[in-house]
A and B are shown apart, each in its own frame.
Chain A
Amino acid sequence: DQQVKQNSPSLSVQEGRISILNCDYTNSMFDYFLWYKKYPAEGPTFLISISSIKDKNEDGRFTVFLNKSAKHLSLHIVPSQPGDSAVYFCAASANMKGAQKLVFGQGTRLTINP
């Protein structure tokens, strides 16, 4: 039972264009959502997050959108750069007495082409 799903295993985008990565979730108790970037043989790096009281959060080239009614979030990267090529994971958690148990999607491999 996958509570967080990234249905696109891979995505290829031209340098300078917008990259849009998508994530769906099923648990309506989730109230905090995060995006991580991961290079091979390294740990994930935190990129950006959003709480359920917002529908958009922006940080530089990265914007996360949350659609609670559709249980869908997306990460927009604009403009895309070669260094953005990596695997991107979305994660979600429900606030349970301060414990933050993250549930991860399977990841989407983003390739930025010159």
Chain B
Amino acid sequence: DGGITQSPKYLFRKEGQNVTLSCEQNLNHDAMYWYRQDPGQGLRLIYYSQIVNDFQKGDIAEGYSVSREKKESFPLTVTSAQKNPTAFYLCASSMGGWLQPQHFGDGTRLSIL
């Protein structure tokens, strides 16, 4: 089945630790995205990538880093510099370009211990 896989579903982090969230897609999509959702709010864009080895900052990139070494993979690292990392993180992908809807994985909930 084609789709977007995010792992793990739940993740706990101690203060001061970096943590990496996985996102893999087998849809052969060119573009991939990371969003964050906080309670009662909409999704906010963290980073996005239109092609391999290239990525751009979104609206709230501070304290996060990404890589895009393979077309199907777009991992997100939440660094210790991110002051409020507890949130629901969603990865998406699309064909890229105009009029192409983004499709989402089921998310990873990150909590600070």
A interface residues (Cβ-Cβ under 8 A, vs B):
4, 9, 31-32, 34, 36, 41-46, 49, 51, 89, 91, 95, 98-107
Q: Is the CB of B107 within 8 A of A104?
A: no
Closest 4 CB pairs of A and B: A104-B42, A43-B104, A104-B43, A46-B101
B48 partner, pick from A31, A36, A101, A106, beta carbons under 8 A: A101
Given A100-B94, A101-B48, A104-B42, the answer on whether A41 and B109 have CB atoms closer than 8 Å is yes
Q: Does B96 interact with chain A (Cβ within 8 Å)? A: yes
A49 partner, pick from B35, B43, B101, B107, beta carbons under 8 A: B101
Q: Is the CB of B42 within 8 A of A106?
A: yes
Q: Does B56 interact with chain A (Cβ within 8 Å)? A: yes
A44 to B106, CA, bound (A): 8
Residue of A nearest to B95 (CB): A100
A101 partner, pick from B40, B41, B45, B100, beta carbons under 8 A: B45
The number of A-B residue pairs with CB atoms under 8 Å apart is: 73
Note all chain A residues with C-beta closer than 8 A to B6: 43
Q: How far is the CB of A2 from chain B (nearest CB, A)?
A: 9
B107 partner, pick from A32, A43, A95, A103, beta carbons under 8 A: A43
Q: How large is the interface on B (under 10, 10 to 19, 20 to 34, 35 or more residues)?
A: 20 to 34
A36 to B98, CA, bound (A): 17
Q: Is the CB of A89 within 8 A of B50?
A: no
Q: Is the CB of A4 within 8 A of B96?
A: no
Q: Is the CB of A100 within 8 A of B100?
A: yes
Greatest chain A CB density within 10 A among B99, B105, B106 is at: B99
Q: How far is the CB of A21 from chain B (nearest CB, A)?
A: 14
Q: Is the CB of B42 within 8 A of A105?
A: yes
Q: How far is the CB of A67 from chain B (nearest CB, A)?
A: 19
Q: Is the CB of A32 within 8 A of B48?
A: no
Residue of B nearest to A43 (CB): B104
A22 to B40, CA, bound (A): 17
Given A4-B42, A99-B48, A101-B45, the answer on whether A46 and B102 have CB atoms closer than 8 Å is yes
Q: Is the CB of B45 within 8 A of A98?
A: no
A10 to B106, CA, bound (A): 23
Note all chain B residues with C-beta closer than 8 A to A107: 40-42
